[in-house]
Amino acid sequence: MKALADIVGSEHVLVDSDVKASYETDWTQRFTGSAVCVVRPGTTDEVAAVVRACVAEGLRITVQGGNTGLVGGGVPAGGEVLMSLTRLTALGDVDRASSQVTAGAGVTLAVLQARARDAGFDVGVDLAARDSATVGGLVATNAGGIRVLRYGSMRQQVLGLTAVMPDGSVISRMAGLEKDGTGYDLMGLIAGSEGTLAVITEVRVRLVPRYRARAVALLAMSSTAAAVAVLPGLRAALPSLAAAELFYAPGLALVRKHGGLPAPFPEEHEAYLLVECADLTDPTTQLVAAVESADGLVDARIADDASGQRALWAYREAHTESISAEGVPVKLDVSVPITSLPALVEQLEPVIAGVCPGARAIVFGHVNEGNLHVNVLDSGDLHEEVTDAVLRLVASLDGSISSEHGVGRAKVPWLGLSRSSTEIDTMRAIKRALDPAGTLNPGVLFP
């Protein structure tokens, strides 16, 4: 501990168990593990020195950003040094010429968005945990969120990285080159590697235009199939389409219960699709024209003012917190080819009931990517059985067991459902080549 205190200052090495506790458990309360200490470096050089000191002592490191992850990837298994990157908050001015900005790993998404918006730009990725989720964590997990339809996931927003390698050496490509054909895409590899290959300390982020004219519609649909079927027409008619989010009556009921929200429609409906358009001119007129003749549309509300839009988004964005307010759920994040989405939704309930009668499934997600968040409440001590049954169903539909939350610790036993043994061997070979001592994030991604 003395070596770490010499690097970051003793006030940034936390050993008291009460102080460490908030870092050692994830916010969903599902993953916990004790760290020998929490170390909070403030610069890339300090991160590198901390890594070298840990390697010298044979200590392993768990890397943590805003601790908003949903698969336990930022929480120690037990016995690691927990390196929190929340002090890496340096944030550059927006570079207008390139539409880019440089952000430290500990900058939260909300702060990054504010910086971009002040300069007339925006960030391509957005998600409900924006006030706590950090840039480093977003890149490390290749986070998705609610704008993937238009701008892609976090990896697509990365034009440069500085990262500390597992031996304490540093790679830095921060020129923000839009084109760079000089060999392997190391930034692309580190993005989404969940802290197993390198510690990201700063990111050159691509910015997107800020569209002030926005329109949001909540569509009541007759079925999942109708919600899926309406999408190609919306994408074709609306170049300004930015989000298409799906949820169902049980999730809406929870959100209303915990948020005290009014019913969006006089009747309850089978499926709800929240869509958002944003552009420079008149997205409301375009959105109305695009949805009015959609098959399977039963009712609709459209908001063209900010407070009305916030009210509609609340039905979707409050899902995660409302579910957690009910209890500790089994939280799964899966994707299937979009044509298989109705089949997945149809089979989920019987499959879950088959292993855990009485469990409640709350399902919502990002329909364009075939990405559903399957949250199962009241599953008692059958978390593993429920997980296994749902993930096998997803694999039978050619889906992914983790769409946007990563593998972390939670999905490790099921990785083989989504990746062939040759793929897993290749990933292991990369891990061994870059981190032969297994210093970074042990127990994450691989058993």
Query: Which residues are at the interface with ligand MLT (CB under 6 A)?
Result: 70, 128, 320, 333, 373
Do 186 and 171 contact (CB within 8 A), yes or no? yes
User: Least Å distance between CB 413 and ligand MLT?
Assistant: 20
DSSP class of residue 318 equals T
Nearer to ligand MLT, 70 or 190 (CB): 70
Shortest distance (Å) from residue 391 CB to ligand MLT: 15
Residue nearer to ligand MLT on the CB measure, 62 or 153: 153
* Cα distance between residue 328 and residue 248, in whole Å: 20
- Least Cβ distance, residue 152 to ligand MLT (angstroms): 15
With respect to ligand MLT, which residue has the nearer C-beta, 37 or 146?
Answer: 146
Q: Which is nearer to ligand MLT, 134 or 320 (CB)?
A: 320
What is the spatial distance between Cα 226 and Cα 222, in angstroms, rounded to a whole number? Answer: 6
| Alpha-carbon span 384 to 375, nearest angstrom | 13
- Other CB atoms within 10 Å distance of the CB of residue 443: 21
Q: At closest approach, how far in Å is the CB of 21 from ligand MLT?
A: 23
Strands 80-84 and 61-64: parallel
| Closer of 99 and 375 to ligand MLT (Cβ) | 375
Among 248, 230, 370, which residue's Cα sits nearest to residue 316?
248
Q: Which is nearer to ligand MLT, 176 or 408 (CB)?
A: 408
What is the smallest separation between the CB atom of 258 and ligand MLT, expressed in angstroms? Answer: 14
Nearer to ligand MLT, 128 or 186 (CB): 128
Give dist(CA 13, CA 21) in Å, integer.
13
The separation between the first and the last C-alpha atoms of the chain, rounded to the nearest angstrom, is 28
Q: How far is the CB of 67 from ligand MLT (least distance, A)?
A: 14
Measured distance CA(251)–CA(269) in Å, rounded: 12
Going by C-alpha positions, the residue among 13, 45, 320 that lies closest to residue 169 is 45
**Minimal distance, residue 366 CB to ligand MLT, in Å:** 7
Q: Which residues of 196-224 are buried (b: 16+ CB within 10 A; e: fewer)?
A: bbbbbbbbbbbbbebeeebbbbbbbbebb
Strand partners, 158: 205
CA distance 254 to 139: 31
Which lies closer to ligand MLT via its Cβ, residue 68 or residue 201? Answer: 68
Give the nearest distance from C-beta 255 to ligand MLT in angstroms: 12
